[in-house]
Amino acid sequence: MSSHQIQLALWVIQPVFQAMIAVIAFRRKLHREFPVFLTYALVQIALFAVQYPVHRWCSSSAYFYTFWVGAAINVVLAFKIIHEIFLDIFRPYHALRDLGTALFKWAALIMVLVSVVVISVSPGLDDPLSGTIEVIQRCVRVVQCGLVLFLLAFCKNLGVSWRRQSFGIALGFGLFAGVELLTTALHSGLHIRGTTMNLLDMAAYNVGMVLWMLYSVLNRRGDAVPVLVPLRWDEALTEIHTHEEDGSESLIPMFEHMVDRAFSKAQDSPT
């Protein structure tokens, strides 16, 4: 079997895995806790239904645009899934969740600004839009790997079990993100060919989907129990939040207001 046929087989089986994940999520009512993750699975099926016919029967330029549109959608969903995992981990800590939401907005803005700067100083790009999407995608991959390392390092301190659904989702994305970053670096250094890079990336993504299915089937949900150290952090942030009753501006609403203003200015600026 040629490498092209293996890639095709790995690609075709992806919507089957995603459909199985969606069915399991509905049957176990996981969509109530992870609606963005379920949306991601359904979107992958829809993207395959569009991209495969275009790849098979249309021109390469048509597939180029459908591929990068799908990549842009996946970048947004992947970042929102990271936020969803974060909210699940810090569910017992309301102030930490609010602060995390504000910080995630800042992270999204910074990734967009970094990608624009990188593209603006990189000459010779045929398509700046696809280059921007690729830079943001790599930023998201780094965040996904960092999230897994964070969970592995602090799961005991946060009271997060490795059997938890959010841990499995993060592990699947982290596995794929780590392999993709590694293969991209090796390909840039001319150590592996493009076909080998694609095969490894697709195989890692399929393994990640298998992990999601296993976690969805074997997951036993339970109420999260607050742990002492993050509970102290949460209480400290709650005290800061209550200062607005004395006439001072709270830290979390201040962050959210600043980020919202930055996003509104970015949207109103001429392109």
Return the higher-pLDDT residue of 261 and 155. Answer: 155
Residues 166-184 have a mean pLDDT of: 92
Q: Is the pLDDT of residue 231 over 60?
A: no
Mean pLDDT (the chain, rounded): 78
Q: Above pLDDT 70, what percent of the chain?
A: 67
SS3 string, the chain, reads CCHHHHHHHHHHHHHHHHHHHHHHHHHCCHHHCCHHHHHHHHHHHHHHHHHHHHHHHCCHHHHHHHHHHHHHHHHHHHHHHHHHHHHHHCCCCHHHHHHHHHHHHHHHHHHHHHHHHHHHCCCCCCCHHHHHHHHHHHHHHHHHHHHHHHHHHHHHHHCCCCCCHHHHHHHHHHHHHHHHHHHHHHHHCCCCCHHHHHHHHHHHHHHHHHHHHHHHHHCCCCCCCCCHHHHHHHHHHHHHHHHHHHCCCCHHHHHHHHHHHHHHHHHHCCC
Q: Is the pLDDT of residue 225 over 70?
A: no
Q: Is the pLDDT of residue 239 over 60?
A: no
Which of 21-30, 35-44, 55-64, 123-132 is least confident?
Answer: 123-132
**pLDDT score at 59:** 85
Q: Is the pLDDT of residue 246 over 60?
A: no
What confidence tens digit (pLDDT) does each residue in 38-68 have? 999 999 999 999 999 999 898 888 888 899 8
Residues 198-216 have a mean pLDDT of: 94
Q: Judge contact between 151 and 208, C-beta under 8 A.
A: no
**pLDDT score at 14:** 95
As given in the structure block, the two tokens for residue 179 are: 């392999």
**pLDDT score at 2:** 78
The model carries a pTM of 0.77
Q: Above pLDDT 90, what percent of the chain?
A: 29
**pLDDT score at 118:** 65
Which of 21-35, 80-94, 228-242 is least confident?
Answer: 228-242
pLDDT band at 199 (very low <50, low <70, confident <90, very high): very high
**pLDDT score at 99:** 64
As given in the structure block, the two tokens for residue 238 are: 């709650």
